Chains A and B, each alone.
Chain A
């Protein structure tokens, strides 16, 4: 029951609950890569919390030995934010799917990002709603036939990378479930990053998405050029916007250092003269007539 002292291997981070994903689901690759990143970083299971929304991908926390929360559809980021702000000592990592993050949860992303909230957000993007059995997701292509779009989806997809860059994310990367080594590296760096880090991981759903298959990605995934300047926002945006041409850039797009929300809140506490044993009578006395 004491904190582990011998270094844990990736598999040691696995909980006793076996993943419930379909055979061949891209999320297995993500899980393995993340566990390796945890081992790399010697993550302490007691000081780490994995928070997720609802979806196949959002089952992630159950399969890991850390603390965690499996919240409501779309609410992963604000719940994770509350936890992190109340407990800045913890490593808080958010997980979810494309629908969870960019459809019902899409209203939280801009704010959590612009505030540079000290979270890592790992999104498993399969361009479909897996758990509800195959409806159009916000990253589904225009024209895609799904159970709710029998005549093809009328909607242009969202671009998670470009959105997060525009929102002011300070770490933005993209990986692909079939390239676990890259995913592992990007996740490791994302966790090490101070502030908001976003890792979008293409993670196909062989059960319900017959368009964006592993096969289909073979020629689309392109490593980000070595000479890309990861501090150049415009260059990063240009790469992100390549999605329009059907390309899937993989690697680190952008990383900069700026004060985080935790930093800013600490400044406020300082300005207010914050202390753990502030005398409440000082406040009460101000209300005397």
Chain B
């Protein structure tokens, strides 16, 4: 039993952090917000630079130009992306690229390199009637519909544009397919592949949420040190201290569950879904709690969209409901550890 990351994994995280600290500042995230609000086409930005570090394709085999890495290798980098509120489909790309590699043949293989290079943005549409993120900026979608899993170009997918509380997500409702696209699987196989992608996206969301939570906490800590009221920094007030201590505790006891889930996925442990569910549930709860505490510490300034906090808070809210709500994941844990109650509720 060794529950820690390797130096290589930490170095990758540091690289990703540096790139994002430089290229995905809050102002960049804010521009993505404003671009969506005004219906502008998405500007180029940090996603390409990240792709250049090899992050997007890291889980591909070496033959496919990747590094043959796994979910544990990627975990800290996804967290770092959350810390920067990267407004790009990183979770979606990392969750599915290995499934794509295993299924794409012929011309399709070229798509893989475009995805890994950050040139072709990929999103997930895993439920008809479900909310699809990055519907405006992605050009490729993995779609689960009519018992098939397929890779489709945007024009092949019937998407009904909606508005997320977090504008950078440019969400839409999946109504169905207009054209079949490249089939990745059908029947049982499609269900299995979809599940593999869904659970990886849920884990990715958990890690991303933990990163967002860390950032919201840090913003509050900095503010509490700087903001003076009643002749001293508000962070000297015990109530503020305890809010922030509670935020830290929520975060620190969420992270181990996410790391463990990453390991079960990397090792393909048969019970990985329950571990993913614990991770996603706790990360969602922690992020909601920390958003609330951070806002409370900021006071009115945090309640404006001029301040950066809302960029992280709204992403967090959106991700708590993406790839399985808290209730979905709790119920899944319940089914694994408890007998059924009556004929439902399980």
Partners in one complex: no
Q: Interface of A with B (CB < 8 Å)?
A: none
